[in-house]
Structures are given as C-alpha cells and as structure tokens.
Amino acid sequence: MVVSGHNPNQFTLSSVLRSCSALGQFDYGTRAHAYVIKFGFELNPLLCSALIDFYAKCDCSEESYSIFGDMDNGDTISWTTIISSLTQAQKWSLALKHYIDMINARVPPNEFTFVKLFAASCFLATRINQMGHHEMAQDVITHMNNDDIKMDGFSLASFLSASAALATLETGRQLHCYAFKSGLNSCISVLNALIDMYWKCGCASDAYRAFGEISDPDVVSWNGLISGLASNGYTSSAISAFEDMRLAGSKPDSVTLLFVLFACSRGGLVDMGLEYFQSMKEKYDVAPRLDHYVCLVDLLGRAGRLEDAMEVILNMPFKPHPLIYKTLLVACKLHKNLPLGEDMARKGIELDPSDQAFYLLLAKLYDDSGQSDLAMKTRRLMRERGLRTNPSQSWMELRNKVHTFIAGDRSHPQINEIQDKIESLITKFKHRGLHEDMEGSSYHSEKLALAFGLLNTPSNAPIRISKNKPICSECHDFIMLATKLVDKEIIVRDGNRIHAFKKGECSCGGCY
C-alpha cells in the first residue's frame, strides 16, 4: 500500500496493530508504530490505544506506559486499554492506581472497562474499600454484578468476599440471587463466601441457612461458622460448633483454633481457653503461632490477669511483636493498670515508633488515671513525630449506594438533618433521665451514620453500619439507648466484632 503511493490513515494503522497484537508479530507491529510517527498520528487516541494494547500483549509494558503517559487527554478506550494491560500482567496495584486516576480525571468507565477489569476487580473492590473509598468499591461490585458478565464460582466467591468486606447486604443478596440463577448455589466456595458475607452483615439465620446447604462442610466452612458465631457474640454456640466439627470428623487447623481462642476471649471463658491453648499441639497437632499467643494474652488480659499475660509474653518462643504489646496495653487501659500499661507502650514504641495506636492508648490511659498533663505530653510527642490519627469512618448501604461518614465532616448533603436528629435523640435521653452528657461525641462517625439511617430507612428495617475502628464507649451507650426509643435493630460492625443493639441491649454484653 505504501509502496504504491497510498498513505495509510488512522483506521488502517489501527487494524494493522490489532492484527499484530493478535498474532504476536512484534517486528511488523514496531514497523506500524514507525508509520504512526511518520504520518503524525502519535497523539491520536485510537492509535495510542492500539499501541498500548500491542506492546502489552508483546510483554513490553514499559512501552505501553510510555505511550499512555505521552497522551494529552486519555479517553475511555485508552484508559481501559492501559488498565487491561496492567491486569494482564497481574500488576493489580498499578491497575488500581490507574482506575482511581481515571475516576479522578472524570473519564467515565464503560461496561467494557469493567469486563477488562474482571480479573482485578475483586482485588480492586477490597483494596479501594481498605483505602476508605467505600462508594467507589461498591461501584466496582455493582458494575460487575450484571447479566452481561458471566461469573464462575471463584469469581462469584471473590465478589461475595468483597461485599462482605463492605458489609453491603443488599449487594450480597443480589449476588446470592445470581448464584441461584447461574446454578452456582451448590459450589462450596460460593456457599463458604455466603456464610462469611451474612455473618459480617449480622444476619445469623441466613448464615446458618447457607451452612446448612453444604452437604459435606470442609474446614473453611466450619471456620466461617465458628468465626461468625464468635464475632456476633454467640460464644457458647461457637464452642459448640467446634465440638460439632470434631464429631463430624473434620480436622481443625490453626485458623480454627485461633477462632476458638477468640470465642473464649470474647466470652470470658478463661479456663476453657487455656485448656484449648495448652492442648493444641498434643490434641490437634497444631503448633501455636504468634497470633495464637496474641489471642491468649487477650484472653488473660480481658479477664484482669495482667501479670499472667505478661508471663506469656516473656516465655513465648517468638520475638515480641508490636501487636502483642498493644493487646496487653488495651487490657491495661481496660483495668486501669498504669505502670504495666506504660511499660507496654514503651516496649511497643521501641519496636515501632510510627504506630500511633501506642501513643493514643497511653494518652487515654493517662486520662483515665487522672493524669491529664501526661496525656497532653504524650499527644504532643505524637504530633512532634509527625504522626497523625486516621479519621474514624463509618458507612452504610442504602438502595445499592454506600454512604460514608467521617468524624467531624459536614460534607454529606443531609448533614443538617443528621445533626438535628442527633440533638433530638440527646434531648429525649435527657427528658427520660437516661444519660447526663452526650454532646461530646456528637460528631463521631457512627452517630452520623445512625442518624442518617434513622432518617432514611423504613421503620421496620434494621440499620447496618460498618466502622473502620473500634466503637468508643460513649457511642456504644448512645446507640444502645437509642434502641430504647426506636423499635429497630441496629447492627454495627467495628474493627473488633459485631454489635447487635436491640431494646437497650447489645449482643457483646459489654465486652468490646
């Protein structure tokens, strides 16, 4: 064509590059690239996308990135192509970054974008959620959950896990319906993911039902049941499920025993927990790992046996880890043991001076001990070291949309109504003599989410809130009192466990 004096246009060169991509013809593709430059098409979006795709399929990722970086304004096709090339190379983090950049650049993704993202979308949803972009994570799941995209059992289980991480029950139920429609409802990985999703949304009956549909539960199934029971406050049932597992002939693994110890810790079953821990190797052929020792310290610490917990740390066959010091520091704060708490904070900061939790817990311990001057000094030291606290976030799903609330933030469109609702509840509490002072934490994220839920959910529908940090005692009491005024179940999943509030009581029994 060129020899005969006819110059190729952008569509001709695009077709040539697509053919070279499909056939793996690197030499011909680079020649086509040379013609792109020769005829001045190097900034043409159509050809840039074709070149990105060509080099990605020839394992020349650097060339792909270079071409994309040289573009002035990428369109949906070019963004989709670069994301596709990254997922093809299993560079999930870079794919995530480019997806977020695409959204920030106000370039709208289309259905093909999400098809290309399919391999990475579960990773994207989980990671975006961990970064605090809950609405964006929900958007990824929602776009993937449509009739145009066919999922296998592994993909569906992965999306259910992402939905569980967000605690988006409506989306989880839609995925459950997809499992029935597609015939994947008998796939054990899907059923295991359903168990996890329903437990993390506080739906005990649905989780039990999903478990009951498994004819031959594997260790993952049993672990999901035990973990869910323990996290939702059914500690005795968690222990019973463990015994049922043994009777069924399923061998517990290290994760199973970690959940059993967690159940004992949350249920205050100290002697039983010690017995399980001491028999791990002999009875179950599972050598205790560091996380089992952390759970043992938590078990003893919550029960007030702080010196015994310290002995565990001193005698364990592992080097001390910041997490185990932090666990005992939490127990010291709970039982107001200042000397040991100071020691744990010092040891933890020596190991990881950048962990803000040690400073915050120590400052709160000083406050509780009446030493506000030392509390201020600790917080000042934290600021001097450039450490900043991550803001508390809470979120809830309403009609397939995730609403996020940040402590002290006033950006939500209903913020004035939300604040009025909080003030209204506080006034009602005072009139009934339920509490003296609750204004101090009216800006906390879980209160904002609660007020939003009360304003927008039907009177008979439960409110489900997720939170990235443990709930504070004042907000815990606030929500508990709110359920005395409104005939509604309020479920809060925080950084530690699930709290189901109803009629002035909480499933945690005050253990949180």
Q: What's residue 347's pLDDT?
A: 97
Torsion over CA of 255, 258, 263 and 267, rounded to 10 degrees? Answer: 180
Split at pLDDT 50, 70, 90, the class of 231 is very high
Choice among 20-29, 163-172, 425-434 with the minimum mean pLDDT = 20-29
Where is mean pLDDT largest: 30-39, 67-76, 107-116, 463-472? 463-472
**4 pLDDT higher than 60:** no
- pLDDT tens for 298-345 read 999 999 999 999 999 999 999 989 999 999 999 999 999 999 999 999
**457 pLDDT higher than 80:** yes
**242 pLDDT higher than 50:** yes
Distance CA 51, CA 336 (A): 64
- For 249, phi then psi, to 5°, come to 85, 10
What is the pLDDT of the chain when averaged over all its residues?
A: 86
Q: What's residue 15's pLDDT?
A: 74
90 in Cβ contact with 56 (< 8 Å): no
Q: What's residue 133's pLDDT?
A: 66
Split at pLDDT 50, 70, 90, the class of 410 is confident
Q: What's residue 506's pLDDT?
A: 92
Q: What's residue 415's pLDDT?
A: 93
Measured over the CA atoms of residue 408, residue 413, residue 416 and residue 419, the dihedral's sign is: negative
What is the pLDDT averaged over residues 121-140? 64
- pLDDT tens for 138-182 read 676 666 665 456 777 877 887 888 788 888 898 899 999 989 998
What is the pLDDT averaged over residues 351-375? 95
Q: Which residues of 192-224 are buried (b: 16+ CB within 10 A; e: fewer)?
A: bbbbbbbbbbbbbebbbebbeebeebeebbbbb
For residues 403 and 81, the model is more confident at 403
Residue count of the chain? 512
pLDDT above 70 coverage of the chain, percent: 84
Q: What's residue 3's pLDDT?
A: 47
- pLDDT tens for 277-310 read 999 999 999 999 999 999 999 999 999 999 999 9
Domain layout of the chain by residue ranges:
1-116, 393-506
Q: Count CB atoms within 10 A of the CB of residue 277.
A: 20
Q: What's residue 488's pLDDT?
A: 92
On the CB side of 290, CA atoms within 13 Å amount to: 9
Q: What's residue 92's pLDDT?
A: 67
Q: What's residue 145's pLDDT?
A: 61
Which pTM value belongs to this model?
A: 0.76
Q: What's residue 435's pLDDT?
A: 62
- Does residue 500 sit in helix, strand or coil? strand
230 Cα distance to chain centroid: 18
What is the pLDDT averaged over residues 431-442? 65
**Quick one: tokens of 478?**
């606030």
Distance CA 129, CA 286 (A): 33
Residues β-bridged to residue 394: 405, 467
- Does residue 402 sit in helix, strand or coil? strand
Split at pLDDT 50, 70, 90, the class of 359 is very high
Distance CA 234, CA 228 (A): 8
**445 pLDDT higher than 90:** yes
For residues 21 and 337, the model is more confident at 337
- Does residue 394 sit in helix, strand or coil? strand
Residues β-bridged to residue 397: 402
Q: What's residue 36's pLDDT?
A: 75
**1 pLDDT higher than 60:** no
